[in-house]
Amino acid sequence: MSKIIITNIQKTEFEPYQVLNCSADFSVIEKNPDKFQIFTNTDNGLVTIELNKEDLKQLLNKIQETLR
């Protein structure tokens, strides 16, 4: 199981910093050349995160640093 921590949300049904348990499978869709969606199923339903290309790059770099 993975965890997603919501830190900036607009939906009122999630608390800030709420931990959501999700499946290990994440899907990434390129919506256009500068916008990507990452989504996964959680114990509270589907969670979708939209990132621009630079934010996605930063996320991937943080993941690589963590795995070293």
If one compares 47 and 4, the residue with the highest pLDDT of the two is: 47
Is a pLDDT exceeding 80 seen at residue 4?
A: no
CA 65 – CA 57 distance, rounded (Å): 12
* Number of residues that make up the chain: 68
**How far from the centroid of its chain's Cα atoms is residue 26's Cα?**
8
How far is CA 17 from each of CA 29, 50, 64, rounded to the nearest angstrom? 25, 18, 23
**pLDDT tens, 5-58?**
555 556 556 666 667 777 667 888 898 988 999 888 877 778 888 888 988 888
Instruction: Give the predicted TM-score (pTM) of the model.
Output: 0.60
Tally of domains in the chain? 1
Domain of residue 43: give its range: 1-67
- pLDDT class of 1 with cuts at 50, 70, 90: very low
